[in-house]
Every structure is written in C-alpha cells, then in structure tokens.
DNA sequence: ACTGAAAGCGATGCAGA
DNA sequence: TCTGCATCGCTTTCAGT
C-alpha cells in the first residue's frame, strides 16, 4: 500500500468504471503494473466491491428516516437475533452498533411516510430485544455518502 | 422506468463493473437495447455515479463516530454557513439535516480516537451556528451501506 | 517491478426488421 | 424498439529488461 495504490483507490472512489488505460494515465504508470496493482487491491480486500450509486427518487424512494434503538436485553444471543433481523429488512441501508445510548442507529428508506409508518408498526417495533425506538425524518442530504478521505 | 430498467439498476448496485454483455444476459435482452437503456439511466440521473467501495481499514481509517448537532441559531444564512463548513471537512462521509432535535447528524471517519479528538476540538466545536455536539463511537457495522431496496 | 506488444473480448454505432 | 453485425478500443497475458 504505497502512494500509487492510494491514488488508485482515490480515483476509483470517484469513478468506479475508469478503464485501466485511463487509470494508468492518472497514476502515471503504464497499463500492466496498474492492472496488476488493481487486481491485488481487489484480491486483498482493499476494494470490497463496485457499485452504481442510484438516485433513490428514480425508484420512488422518497422518504428517509433515522431510527435510534435502545435495547432492553443486552445478552449476546439477543443482540445477534436483533442484528440478524435488522439485516433481513431490505429498507435498512445502514445499521450500526454504538457505544453508550442509543445502542443502535438505523438508516431507513421507504417510498413515503405511510410506508415507513407501516414498517415501524409491523416490523421495527417487534425486533427481538428492542426496548425503545426513537425515529427522526431526514429533511436534507447535506453530504451524501462521500468517498473516504485520503 | 420499467421492470427492465429496475433490474439494470439492481444488478449495477450489486456489481458496478458489470460488462454490458453480462448485463444484457441478466436482463434477458440483447446488447444494443441494454446499452441504450444504460446510457439513458446515466443521462437522466437515475445512475448518479459509479464507485469503488473501499475498506476504510486499508487506508488506516479505523475510527468512526456519529455526531449529533444542535444548532443555536436557525436562520437561513447560518444554516448555509454551517452546511458549507461541514461539506469542506473531508472526514465527514455523511451529513443530514433532520426534523426535530438534533438538527444534524454527521458520520465521521478518522484514523484513530486521537485524530477524532483533535478534529472535534479544532474544527467541529467551532462550526458556525452550532450550539451543542453529542458524539458516539461506532462499535460495529451491522448493515454496511446496502443497495436500495427494489 | 515495470515496459511494450499481441491476442482476445467487450463497447459502440449502424443497417434492417 | 428490438436483433445482428462490424469496427474500434480496452483488457489481459507474456516476453524482455
């Protein structure tokens, strides 16, 4: 992991479909070693995947909420069951376990407020071990899933 | 935006470097119309960009925190100044304005706790209009920036 | 570990239905 | 709007330094 590798990661976070030819020009190296470095970054897990960034509104997903979860039981089995249940809900884009209170943050997208209300009532509020939910509507994306800093 | 377009978006969220040839097979169409549809999805903004998903640890970014921000002043000019200042901090991966309290959520990555402490003291705690910060360390990614649901 | 070249394969554009 | 084809460029591998 030298400066060239870091530059490759930076460029591919900005444009994940860069051709190796173009990438080679940007890192000032010929095609072969650029190709070799890229494959190695993929192999060793520095590059986890490639993704198209899709506009949620194009899919009619116009509503986003953050949910703060406080757990009632904190034993290992309950947390595992909670986390597996959360991972099975497709509307959950991000779920993080936190230190302190709340125990979890969930980032959730739905088509609209009504769909969210249904999701909370039918699914979220009966997650295993969950004691209390506090949810907040997102008004605006100020910084929207930016690349990692160098 | 028909079912084929939705399928294209779903596939490219799973693998943003799919070749058009491979994509065409997955959506059961020949290469030309698949190509045409893809370019149209890019042109109309349904596909906003392509990204390599990089493992933060590969770049030594081992620390993540969530910061809840309560504003002291809420006039338009102050909020604008706050949002612009936040957007200029490279460690901020996500910033959202929320309804209710807190006013903003920030998702922040740094190399370690010490670097975060420095960032909070030197930068975050003097953001324009900011009244109060509450920060929480992230213990674990349960669901890590998943594709949008279909 | 990089350079340069050769071969295979995909992207892109076009004719025809 | 689709299929099928032709051209061009990129990816991938390999010999040489």
- CB contact (8 A) between residue B13 and residue A136: no
Average pLDDT over residues B128-139: 97
| pTM, two decimal places | 0.95
**Protein CA at A27 to nucleotide C1' at C5, angstroms:** 21
Confidence (pLDDT) at B139: 98
Confidence (pLDDT) at B100: 94
Mean pLDDT computed over every residue of chain B? 97
Instruction: Report CA-CA distances (Å) from A135 to A47, A69, A105, B98, B134.
Output: 33, 9, 10, 10, 17
Confidence (pLDDT) at A16: 98
Q: Which residue has the tokens 């953050």?
A: A66
Report chain A residues whose CB lies below 8 A from the CB of B130.
none
Residues of chain B with CATH 1.10.10.10: 3-43
Reported confidence tier of residue B39, pLDDT bands at 50, 70, 90: very high
Residue A61, number of CB atoms within 10 A of its CB: 20
Confidence (pLDDT) at B35: 97
Confidence (pLDDT) at A6: 97
* Strand nucleotide closest to residue A37 (CA to C1'): C1
Task: Answer yes or no: is B30 CB < 7 A from strand C.
Answer: no
Question: Under DSSP, is residue A68 helix (H, G, I), strand (E, B) or coil?
Answer: strand
**Run of H or E residues at A69:** strand A63-71
Average pLDDT over residues A65-76: 97
Write out pLDDT tens, residues B84-121.
999 999 999 999 999 999 999 999 999 999 999 999 99
- CB contact (8 A) between residue A58 and residue B1: yes
**Tell me, which fold does domain A3-43 have in CATH?**
Arc Repressor Mutant, subunit A (1.10.10)
**Tell me, which fold does domain A56-137 have in CATH?**
Alpha-Beta Plaits (3.30.70)
Closest alpha carbon to C1' of D13, residue: A32
What does DSSP assign to residue A27?
T
- CB contact (8 A) between residue B147 and residue A54: yes
What percent of chain B is predicted at pLDDT more than 70?
A: 100
- Alpha-carbon gap: B138 to the closest alpha carbon of chain A (Å): 5
Residue A119, number of CB atoms within 10 A of its CB: 18
d(CA A36, CA B62) in angstroms, rounded, equals 26
Report chain B residues whose CB lies below 8 A from the CB of A51.
12-14, 16, 50-51, 53, 147
Residues of chain A with CATH 3.30.70.920: 56-137
Alpha carbon distance, N-terminus to C-terminus of chain B: 13
Report chain A residues whose CB lies below 8 A from the CB of B104.
142
Mean pLDDT computed over every residue of chain A? 97
Confidence (pLDDT) at A100: 94
Closest alpha carbon to C1' of D14, residue: A32
Concatenating the DSSP letter of every residue in A86-131 gives: HHT-TTEEEEEEESSSSSEEEEEEESSHHHHHHHHHHTGGG-TTEE
């Amino acid at each position: 992991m030298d400066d060239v590798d870091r530059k490759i990661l930076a460029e591919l976070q900005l444009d994940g479909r860069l051709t190796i030819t173009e990438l080679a020009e940007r890192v000032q190296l010929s095609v072969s070693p650029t190709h070799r470095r890229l494959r190695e970054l993929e192999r060793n897990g520095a590059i986890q995947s490639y993704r198209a960034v899709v506009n949620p509104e194009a899919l009619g997903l116009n509503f986003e909420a953050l949910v703060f979860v406080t757990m009632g039981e904190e034993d290992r089995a309950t947390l595992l069951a909670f986390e597996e249940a959360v991972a099975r809900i497709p509307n959950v884009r991000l779920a993080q376990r936190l230190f302190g209170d709340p125990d979890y943050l969930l980032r959730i997208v739905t088509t609209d407020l009504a769909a969210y209300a249904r999701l909370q009532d039918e699914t979220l509020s009966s997650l295993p071990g969950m004691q209390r939910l506090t949810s907040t509507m997102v008004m605006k994306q100020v910084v929207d899933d930016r690349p990692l800093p160098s």
